């Protein structure tokens, strides 16, 4: 851009500066999935997702009984859930998994079982634990039901297709009879 100097009236070239370009915001990292249920227990945190349950030890008691790290149990691995209501002693949800050896020594043995979540409290806590158990059992059952992936034509529709092909001359009488016999057997 050219302007005249105010004192000498000579043209002066003023370099153009590039307009600031808008900066792109940094990409947003994917967020971890939000649990459907979360429940703080005696020594760990239970989180339930659409396809799995996780048990994360918390505090000194959790570390001493279960060590570090989150135990993730896919619903497809769960074969049974044992539920004991909390009363004078802690309640628990114990997950039996394929190939696993769950503890059978009651509440004391369950405390160190990595597939067990222990909790304390009254009726509201028991109700919450029961709700979680029912949700997981329904999901496990739903995953066991075989899904029909393709739709097949009914017998009458198949016979109708064969009759149309015969009427159009695509199938001979003997081909039609053979195909019909295969369908009906």
* Residues 6+ away with beta carbon under 8 Å from 140: 75, 76, 78
Residue 81 Ramachandran class (φ > 0 left, ψ -120 to 50 alpha, else beta): beta
Is the pLDDT score of 6 beyond 80?
Answer: no
Tokens of 135: 């949700």
Outline where the chain has alpha helix (H). Answer: 59-66, 106-110, 123-144, 155-167, 173-184
Look at residue 30 in the predicted model and tell me its pLDDT: 84
Q: How far apart are CA 15 and CA 77, in angstroms?
A: 70
Tens of pLDDT, residues 37-88: 999 998 899 999 999 999 998 877 767 777 778 889 999 999 999 999 999 9
Of the candidate ranges 1-5, 21-25, 73-77, 84-88, the one whose mean pLDDT is the lowest: 21-25
Is beta strand 71-74 parallel, antiparallel or unpaired with respect to 44-48? Answer: unpaired
Look at residue 18 in the predicted model and tell me its pLDDT: 59
Q: How far apart are CA 129 and CA 119, in angstroms?
A: 8
Domain ranges (residues) in the chain: 37-144, 155-184
| Mean pLDDT value of segment 76-104 | 86
Length of the chain: 185
Fold of 37-144: PH-domain like (2.30.29)
């Amino acid at each position: 851009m050219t302007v005249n100097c105010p004192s000498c009236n000579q043209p002066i070239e003023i370099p153009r500066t590039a307009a600031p370009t808008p900066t792109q915001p940094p990409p947003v990292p994917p967020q971890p999935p939000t649990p459907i249920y979360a429940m703080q227990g005696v020594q760990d945190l239970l989180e339930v997702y659409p396809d799995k349950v996780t048990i994360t030890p918390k505090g000194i008691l959790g570390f001493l009984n279960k060590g570090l790290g989150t135990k993730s149990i896919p619903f497809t691995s769960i074969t049974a859930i044992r539920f004991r209501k909390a009363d004078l002693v802690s309640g628990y949800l114990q997950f039996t998994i394929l190939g696993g050896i769950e503890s059978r020594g009651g509440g004391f043995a369950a405390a160190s079982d990595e597939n067990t979540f222990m909790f304390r409290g009254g009726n509201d806590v028991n109700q919450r634990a029961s709700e979680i158990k029912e949700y997981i059992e329904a999901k496990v059952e739903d995953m066991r039901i075989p899904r029909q992936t393709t739709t097949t034509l009914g017998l009458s529709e198949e016979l109708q297709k064969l009759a149309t092909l015969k009427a159009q001359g695509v199938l001979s009488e003997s081909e039609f009879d053979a195909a019909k016999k295969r369908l009906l057997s």
